Each structure stands twice: as structure tokens, then as C-alpha cells.
Amino acid sequence: MHYALGEGAAMAEIELRNLSKRWGGFVGVDRFDLTIPDREFLVLLGPSGCGKTTTMRMIAGLEEITEGDILIDGRRVNDLDPKDRDVAMVFQSYALYPNLDVYENIRFPLKVRKIDPATHKDRVMRAAEMVELTDFLHRRPAELSGGQRQRVALARAIVRQPNVFLMDEPLSNLDAKLRVSTRAQIKNLSHELQVTTIYVTHDQIEAMTLADRVVVMNKGVVQQVGSPTEIYDRPANTFVAGFIGNPAMNLVEGQMRGGVFTGAGLDIPGFSLPDGKVTLGFRAEDATLEGGEELHAPIYTLELLGDSTMVTVRIGGALVSVKAPKDFRAEIGDMFRAHIPASICHVFDGDTGERV
């Protein structure tokens, strides 16, 4: 079942053309160029200060653009006020009115935009139902849990029937269990509403589970754009490799010589690459305990994860992790061996960090 948003909802393709933001000599966003198709769920992902929230604020009209253009359905919106861009934002802080009950908080955007009052009840009830708040409509925000307050903020955005949803780290104030359940709710909502959504987060699990496409950013620069699977399976550089995944990809500096990678504690044959300085990457879950001894080092630490045991060793200056079966038994300091064939490895240029 899909919920129709009504006549107010339109198609919304967003184009960001050479978008930049500078404050004096500091570059917040550098030449961001991307087309976001109608109904796509796009996640901007990166560490604090990478430019993702600044990009969203420029789209919303809350931040002035230094260079470039923003087009929504072919219409340049650079000079439009936020209220005229037909976007709805959900912030990290819930920004609810404490003196209004849930019903009036959800209804507030309809009053401000002077929507026909005869439609208010139906639209509020429909939005409340979508986020499972119908039993809480007469409560004040102070009487709600953090997760319920965030759902009120979501309903308030839904009731607007906007062309675009902008969500700025909406789950970061919630505890771990609530983050999981609210994330599932946002995923389901995006499927039901079919509205173009841009979602900002520093949490790569949120990005991987929610996005149609992910934009990985660092220091204002786009590092890679792709589906979660593409970014996980073929990271464009060592930054993306080290940022995506839990745990992040193991990265070991070394040399390629005659098709053999040699690094501190690693000797892996089977590559068809020229000699030179490289960084080798592999994921903890891709290594196995049988079949070879490419990795041979004492155990640094053991972590039981429930479905597996994470074994970490120190080789050179790097900590390297391998997922072992949950019944794996050993002690810190025991010698550990793992099979890391060339076929599971990623190779990056030793100087630029770019994928080879």
C-alpha cells in the first residue's frame, strides 16, 4: 500500500551544479555537482565538518550559496526564500512547540501556509497514523519519549506534502534501540511516501540501510557517489574504505613486488599489478581461518559479538581485525593465523590513496 500525498505533491528532481560554500579562506563545500532523481532517497555521509549539513542548508535556503546553482525540477531556486522552495526539514533537535499538543504541533505548518482548514483534520490524522501517533495526539511534547517526539517532527514534515524532505541527523539524539526502530520507520515511510529525500548523517549504518544512493564527503569534497553496495564493495579511496563498514576495512601499508604484497606481518601473492608503494585493504568478514597463513601474528584482543568473534592483531602500526566463528577460542597473546587471498583484497595507491 502507498499513501498518496494528494494534489500538493509534485515531482522533484534536484540538480546541484558546481555548488560551493566558502567563509573567507575556509572552504565548507567545494564544487558539489550531482543530480538527484525524483523520489530518490539520497544520504550525505561523512564525519563532522565534512560539509554535508552545509550542503543541505544551501538546498533548504538557510545558507547562502557562494557559487553554483540549485535547481528543483528545472527551476533555479538560489534566490528563493526557504518557504518558497517547498521543502520540509526534520532536524536533529525536534523543535516542537511545548505549549501545543501533538495534534496542534503536526497541524502547525498547515495553519502557517493557510491551507484550507476543512482539510486539516484528515491530513493530520493521516500523518499521525503513518508514524503511529494516533494515541498520543492530545499529549504535550514533555509527556513524550525522545522517539515519540522525533515521530511528531516527522509527521509535521509529512503533513506539509512537500516536494522534498530534508532530514538533518534526525536520529542522533535517540538511544541505540530507538535509533534502530525509528530508522526502520523512516525506511518504511520513504517507501510509502515516494518523495525525494536528502538525509544527512555521520552514521554509516544509517546510510547503508536507508539510502538508494550514498554521497561520501570529506573536508567539503565529494569522495564517492554510489549505491550502498557499490560503496561497500568498491570504495574509491582509502578514506571511503576506512569510513564504511563495521568494523571499517583493514588497511595495511606496504609494497607490491613481482605480484606479491609485502607489508608488516602480511605476505600475499597472486596480484597482477605493477611494483610500487600501495595500501592493501580487506574486510574482516572476508578473511578465513583455513587455507593459508598470509596473516600470522599474536592476538591483540578478542571480542565476542554474539554471532561471531572479532579477533584483532597488531601488525606494524596497524590493528587488523578478522571475524572468526562464534565458538572460536583463544587467549590474548596466542599466535593467530588467517587466510587472506588476493581475490578478497582491495589495492590503493600508496601516495594518493585512490583505488588501483
d(CA 200, CA 168): 5
Helical spans, DSSP H, in 283-351: none
d(CA 5, CA 7): 7
Is the full-model pTM beyond 0.75?
yes
3-state secondary structure of 123: helix
pLDDT at residue number 174: 80
CATH architecture for segment(s) 248-349: Beta Barrel (2.40)
pLDDT at residue number 196: 94
Q: Which residues contact 4 (CB under 8 A, 6 or more apart)?
A: none
d(CA 263, CA 20): 40
For residue 325, how many other CB atoms are within 10 A of its CB? 10
Helices 146-158 and 102-112: crossing angle in degrees, nearest 10, is 30
pLDDT at residue number 182: 85
d(CA 70, CA 59): 7
Domain extents in the chain = 14-239, 248-349
Q: Residue 208 in contact with residue 198, Cβ under 8 Å?
A: no
Residue 304, all three cell numbers? 565476542
CA atoms in the 13 A half-sphere facing the CB of 310: 14
The label of the residue with cell 564504511 reads 244
d(CA 148, CA 173): 12
Residue 172, all three cell numbers? 542522533
Cα four-point dihedral sign 98, 60, 200, 6:
positive
Cα four-point dihedral sign 249, 223, 187, 98:
positive
Residue 37, all three cell numbers? 532523481
CATH class of 14-239: alpha beta
Same fold? 14-239, 248-349: no
d(CA 50, CA 76): 25
d(CA 283, CA 249): 5
Measure the CA angle with vertex 182, ends 179 and 184; round to 5°: 105
d(CA 254, CA 257): 10
pLDDT along the chain (356 residues), means of 10: 46 93 96 97 96 96 97 95 90 87 95 93 93 94 91 91 91 83 87 92 94 97 98 98 93 96 91 97 95 90 95 92 95 95 97 97
pLDDT at residue number 119: 95
